[in-house]
Structure 1
Amino acid sequence: MDLSDAKWRKASRSGDNGGHCVEVASVPNMMAIRDSKDPHGSMILVGREDFRRFTETLKNI
């Protein structure tokens, strides 16, 4: 999947201190996730519903 035009955004809980940051991008029927410190490295693609459940679970921790 070509993600060269994806609009990446940093997770809202990530700080500006250069620490561990995650970026996400909405792509057709999926969410892409990557490490902001390595934008050309590996990324994970997950279904939108799985991503929603994942983020809801994190909010409850």
Structure 2
Amino acid sequence: MSVDRAVMLFAGFMVLVSLALGLYVSPLWFWLTAFVGANLMQASVTGFCPAAIIFKRLGLKTGCAFN
């Protein structure tokens, strides 16, 4: 698995978890959904993604998006 795919998998997982928490625990969890979306937009513009840095340090091979 490449860093690019790991970032997309992690972001999708976080969105689904935060939606479930927002529906069943507290609507305040929807702020996490908004944060993940904002971070995805920021990463697409700047190329800086904290999750990509962590996945690189864990030894995943780099893809074309996060070199």
TM bin, normalised by shorter chain, reads: 0.3 to 0.5
Q: Could you state the TM-score of these two structures normalised by the residue count of structure 2?
A: 0.33
Higher helix share: 2
Higher strand share: 1
Higher relative contact order (CA 8 A, sep 6+): 2
